[in-house]
Amino acid sequence: MKSGYVAITGKPNVGKSTLLNNILGQKVSITSPKPQTTRQSIEAVYEDKRGQIIFVDTPGIFKKVEDPVSAKINLVAPKALGREIAVAVYVIDPSRERDEEDNKVLGMVRKMKIPKILAINKMDIKHPSFLPHYKFMEEEFDKVVTISGMYKLNTNYLIDAIFELLPEGEPIVKPGPRATPLLNLDSKLFIGELIREKAYIFLRKELPYTLGTVVDEVTERDQNLTYVKARILTTTDKYKKMIIGSHGRMIKEIGMAARKELETATGKKFFIDLTVEENPHWIETLL
């Protein structure tokens, strides 16, 4: 049997979280078009007859740190990659030109004296293609796999490659049925992440990264209803008004979308009591 920690790394918005969610067959890491969506390392387990993979989904590495959120996020991936990682998967997006962020991540991966896989993502996107700009990397990796994390194309080959490189070992997580493959986020943190994802999707480019979430309560009110009390935190009154929206429409849309996804995933009814709070110091306390 094989087992070990496998780091998924790359620059922002190359599709790391989407890839992990589709490999596992359910959401463990939130996604959005915004490049700061993943803010902490997410650990989740994949198992089959060959063994156990503990995936570590790391935040993207930013070229320039221009705000406190980016500064804190940039510390997360190096810390995660410094643990006992058995295999590193470096995800690239050849539909985007190589830049300083690619160089920064590649420099980190080069320092890891472990087996490495180059995962060339977004094979479904034919144009534009900057693949020749990345070709030199292939000789630096033990294996190269071309995939589409979005459409789950060739992700089985990626799993095969990981198992080939993983060491023999006992399961890290006790085998057996689990409600979710997610290992290191409790229900409050996961629901908070889901609400943050919906806020990003609905607000799109209107809101900068001055947004966080806190879930204060998750209570089973009866067999058919779970009550969630949550807050969206932002830094100024201007952004608070934007999140609430005209006549409260935006906050209702965000809460409704989060509720529907939770109900679909669990088969239970949810009530989300969602408010918006102005706190200019939330970044210091939550990240």
Main-chain dihedrals φ then ψ at residue 254, nearest 5 degrees: -65, -50
CB 155 within 8 A of CB 22: yes
Q: Which domain-ending residue is among 131, 165, 199?
A: 165
Residue 175 lies in a domain: no
**Do 198 and 123 belong together in one domain?**
no
176: number of Cβ within 10 Å = 7
State yes or no: 48 annotated in a binding site. Answer: no
Judging by beta carbons within 10 Å of its beta carbon (0-12, 13-18, 19+), is residue 227 exposed, middle or buried?
middle
What is the domain count for the chain? 2
121 annotated as a binding-site residue: yes
* CATH number reported for the structural domain that contains residue 264 in this entry: 3.30.300.20
Is 10 annotated for ligand binding? yes
Contact 69, 12 (CB under 8 A): no
Domain boundary among 165, 200, 229: 165
Is residue 161 located within the same domain as residue 191? no
The answer to whether position 8 is within a domain reads yes
pLDDT tens for 82-108 read 558 899 999 999 999 999 889 988 998
176 is in an annotated binding site: no
Range of the domain at 255: 187-286
Amino acid identity of residue 35, one-letter, is: P
Rounded Cα gap, residues 196 and 233, in angstroms: 10
Q: Worst-scoring range by mean pLDDT, 97-111, 138-152, 239-253?
A: 97-111
Q: What is the DSSP string of 113-174?
A: -S-EEEEE--TT--SS--GGGTGGGGGGSSEEEE-BTTTTBSHHHHHHHHHHHSPB---SS-
Q: What are the Cα distances from residue 132, in Å, to 60, 89, 94, 98, 119?
A: 22, 20, 8, 10, 15
Do 245 and 150 lie in a common domain? no
The reply to whether 12 sits in an annotated binding site is yes
Q: How many residues does the chain have?
A: 287
State residue 80's pLDDT score: 45
The answer to the question of whether 58 is labelled as a binding residue is: yes
Same domain, 64 and 199: no
Answer yes or no: are the C-beta atoms of 90 and 42 closer than 8 Å: no
Q: Is 154 annotated as a binding residue?
A: no
Domain-located, residue 233? yes
At 18, the amino acid letter reads T
User: According to the annotation, is 14 in a ligand binding site?
Assistant: yes
Answer yes or no: do 153 and 192 share one domain: no
Give CA–CA dist 73/93, Å, rounded: 20
- Indicate the residue among 135, 165, 195 that finishes a domain: 165
Output the pLDDT for position 30: 63
The CATH number of the domain holding residue 35 is 3.40.50.300
Annotated binding residue at 107? no
- DSSP-derived 3-state class of residue 1: coil
198 marked ligand binding residue: no
- Regarding whether 161 and 204 lie in a shared domain, the answer is no
DSSP state of 58: P
Cβ 138 vs Cβ 144: under 8 Å: yes
User: 120 and 10 share a domain?
Assistant: yes
Annotated ligand binding at 16? The verdict is yes
One domain for residues 161 and 194: no
Q: Is residue 171 included in any domain, yes or no?
A: no
Identity of the highest mean pLDDT range in 53-57, 131-135, 277-281: 131-135
pLDDT over 70 (residue 33): no
Lowest mean pLDDT among 4-8, 184-188, 209-213, 240-244: 184-188
Cα separation, 210 vs 99, in Å, equals 26
Reading phi first (left if > 0) and then psi (alpha if -120 to 50, else beta), residue 66 is in alpha
Q: Is the pLDDT of residue 181 over 80?
A: no
Asked whether residue 246 is marked as a ligand-binding residue, the answer is: no
Give the CA angle between residues 235, 236, 238 to the nearest 5°: 140
Q: Is the Cβ–Cβ distance between 214 and 247 less than 8 Å?
A: no
176 in a structural domain: no
Does 93 lie in the same domain as 20? yes
Would the annotation count 102 as a binding residue?
no
The answer to whether residues 135 and 251 belong to one domain is no
